[in-house]
Chain A
Amino acid sequence: MTDRLPEGWELVVGLEVHCELATATKLFCGCPNAFGEEPNTNVCPVCLGLPGSLPVLNRRAVELAMRIGVALRCSIEPSVFHRKNYFYPDMPKDFQISQYDAPINRGGRLELPDGSVIGVERAHLEEDTGKTTHVGGTGRIGGADYALVDYNRSGVPLVEIVSAPDIRSSAQAHAYASELRAILVASGASDGRMEEGSMRVDANVSVRRTGEPFGTRCEIKNLNSLRSLVRAIEHEAARQVALVQAGGTVVQETRHWDEGEGRTLSMRSKEEANDYRYFPEPDLVPLAPDERWRSEVAASLPPLPAGRRAVLAGLFGGSPTQAQLDQIRSVVTSDLDRVVAGAVAKGAPAALALARTANEVAANAERAADLDLDGFSRLLLLEAGGELGATQAKAVLSELLERGGDPTAIAKSMGFESMDEGELREVVARVVAELPEEWDKFLAGDSKVQGALIGAVMRATSNSANGKAVTEELARMRSEARGAS
């Protein structure tokens, strides 16, 4: 399936992103906010909603929510907590403390790397629920023998970020979710791990004929990855267009994305939806961060991805190639831009530093934090100066990442010391003699065989030859041969 709708149709998407805040403790109690512990070990009377318990707001969670607000250019406003009332066994109080008509962050915007801007309607604080596991029978909610509830997640702080319905393609939805994720991570507000559920995305999808008012939307839930998000939006848009074209009407409802089946299924219609009976939470006082607190939070906000990308792009004199822009984005997303900048500051060439970081360093991201930037930049200089070939440099880098050390010494211990000129000439001459057909083509000007010749030399020298020197020797031999004929 493609991103394309039939001619004359337009996709309209708004995303609701829930992210767990990276606090040490839960939103309203002192229990640890931790993932993957034994069930029901991080609980207390408050997050179990025991009778008589009362919530106490976590100041750090408010700060992280405000950081998100600042990062998304929202206005931070006096806010009120509301109770959202509905029954569900994994919600211990049978209401969720959330924010309703007075959210802490309102009216922001998110600029995507391609320059398009998506509005952010609000980003409010709320508590997470526990987790239900259906056991036995079909294992599905309707056919299980019994259910187990883990309340470790109950009361974990969440910020729900609601975009305006400004998104017009599945690719743009992907770009929005990944940029938002990068902002959440960079700001220190959340670890943004979709696979662990610390970032969850719901999509409101509708279609319309171009120029007409918005169509009826469906909310798609259970999107566990960006890939699911893209697939689900495309599937749902196609479903809605087909439905309308066949004379039907879209019904406002919540739909469940079935990753295996690759389609959305109806969960509940608007008529079946809960009446949440929101009302102000009487156990909490209104939250009104003063100007001083707000500016402290704004001042403590770490640099955000867009700014960090601009810094790296600046290393290329403001005109990086598209491939480099992609590398810059991935380096910033992996939080490795300081590696590039550090190496460049020590004299390494920007393009090489970026390429090696985006590929080899990123591939070993867990070791990247310990990478010695001085050694890395000297390695890059060795490679740029032709003293090490690309393959050799990568091998040295791998060692540098794993165990550290001096790049020259590592190269030497790997036998990558440049062969002397005479030795290299001998090997190249022997290889050329063994490959007469390729040599003839090379002489005839077919540069495509050059790689094969170089590869053969590298094999013959167990990769210890300098690729650049081999290239030069081949060129020298060619001009010598041409001169002789």
Chain B
Amino acid sequence: MSDLALQIAADVRAGRRSAREVVEESLSLIATGDDIHAFLEVLADEALARADAIDRSVADGEDPGPLAGVPIALKDNLCTRGIPTTCSSRILAGWRPPYDATVVERLRDAGAVLVGKTNMDEFAMGSSTENSCSGPTLNPRDRGRVPGGSSGGSAASVAAGFVPLALGSDTGGSIRQPAALCGVVGVKPTYGLVSRYGLVAFASSLDQIGPLGASVADAALCLEVIAGHDARDTTSLEGPVPDMLAAVERPVRGLRVGLVTELVEGTSPEVAARVRESAEALAGAGCAVEEVSIPQFRYGLSAYYLIAPAEASSNLARFDGVRYGLRVDASDAEAMNVATRTAGFGPEVKRRIMLGTYALSAGYYDEYYAKAQRVRRWVANGFADAYAKFDALLGATTPTTAFALGEHSEDPLAMYRSDTCTVPANLSGDPAMSVPFGTDAGGLPVGVQVFAPALGEDVMFALAGALERSAPTKEPPR
């Protein structure tokens, strides 16, 4: 769809356009266009009923909220009451949560209309959406390529124009990397800015929910709706939410921006070229841009691939066939557990459970998990040192543009390396977002990443807005 969420909401709130009309358009685009397999489940009836309710409330003179009538897609690891939530895993086949995630409640309260649940790498473990039990999502920019992952379905649904907004989750780059590969905006907020209640956990200390949108302003609008303290998540932050939507238009003159050497070197020449151009664009807008090396960034990936699997091995233990989801019967409870998990989890999930179990085992904990936690603190210190000199940091979101389907699927390490640029911000907990900035020679989108200190989302959105305005090709969302 061609309209942005801000425009849709303004029109619906003003009664210039009906929510039903908007939602019907979104549903028909999905019905005719989703051979890229962005959606696992489309909720046409519920969405239309919801749209009608919004139209009635407008007719009654009420304000349905800042996202009035905006169709939105949710990654399938966000719990939706009565609606299947599978994490693209066989082990959760048929499970319908009895409750809504906090973000789902907040979107509804803001007038958004949930049109469907999107495909993902199983339990958010992957960078291509190929690790889904129901098959991969294709990149709408080039169907022979992956959309990135793990929020590949959400990124593709926005890039394909099915919806103006989608939610994803980002544990090591799972929002920003597919946003970059699909050419949309993707935000990983400060850890704790958005409640994780109702997000099926992958790695609890790293997971954050965030928006994917066709524009920087739409992403800011959506994040303002879902952000803020939630008593059901004790890691969610108290205190005011940064003013993000207003920041998008704010001048960036005088902001000190560090171009991170490690996030330029080691990327493909074309990605590196776009990132340098984005730095020049910010300099042109009046920022003081300077290159800075943060050597810790080189070590983030190995720490991440111990901490995340360790937490995952524990978080995913509950899928034992006893209470919900898949059960493969066997002679006793323990055998049932083994049979269920053997049949229910895909190979990448099993690999990470084994890695994580090993990293936490007696005799290995200090060598692996504890050491990885020290590296994590060291990476956070690297950010902190840089923020002593800079207001924000800039670099590539991904080492390359979208790779071909199947290109990395036989080589887990090559796949893991595609998270290199995004993982550090998960380790530090600071916010980061990807903004489309030009393409490679083949027309594939390149994303640049803007980083800010914790709760510095306003600065981050101001710079993202500036980048969006100066991006070389302003390809309209399809």
Contact = CB atoms under 8 A, between A and B. Distances in A.
A285 B320 contact: no
Best-surrounded residue of B317, B360, B365 (most CB of chain A within 10 A)? B317
Contact of B360 (A45, A279, A282, A285): A279
Mostly helix, strand, loop or mixed at chain A's interface? loop
Contacts of A89: 320, 322, 333
B232 A275 contact: no
A56 interface: yes
Interface stretch (A46-54, A328-336, A391-399, A450-458): A46-54
Interface string B193-223: 0001111110111000000000000000000
Mostly helix, strand, loop or mixed at chain B's interface? loop
B470 interface: no
Contact of A85 (B79, B233, B314): B314
A37 B234 CA distance: 29
Interface residues of A, number: 30
Given A87-B337, A94-B320, A51 B233 contact: no
B361 interface: yes
Contact of B234 (A277, A279, A284): A284
Interface in B358-396: 360-362, 365, 369
B127 to A, nearest CB: 22
Given A48-B323, A92-B323, A57 B234 contact: yes
B196 A277 contact: no
B337 A54 contact: no
A283 B362 contact: no
Contact of B79 (A48, A52, A55, A149): A52
A283 B361 CA distance: 20
Interface string A70-91: 0000000000000101011100
Contact of A49 (B77, B198, B318): B318
Interface string A142-163: 0000010100000000000000
A277 B79 contact: no
A279 B204 CA distance: 12
A58 to B, nearest CB: 11
Nearest to A48: B323
Interface string A257-280: 000000000000000000101110
B317 A51 contact: no
Given A87-B320, A87-B337, A56 B231 contact: yes
A52 B320 contact: no
B310 interface: yes
Nearest to A277: B360
A130 to B, nearest CB: 10
B234 A52 contact: no
B233 A54 contact: yes
10 contacts: A51-B319, A52-B101, A54-B233, A56-B232, A87-B320, A147-B333, A275-B361, A277-B361, A282-B311, A285-B234
Interface of A: 45, 48-57, 83, 85, 87-89, 92-95, 147, 149, 275, 277-279, 282-285
Cβ-closest 3 pairs across A and B? A94-B317, A282-B205, A277-B360
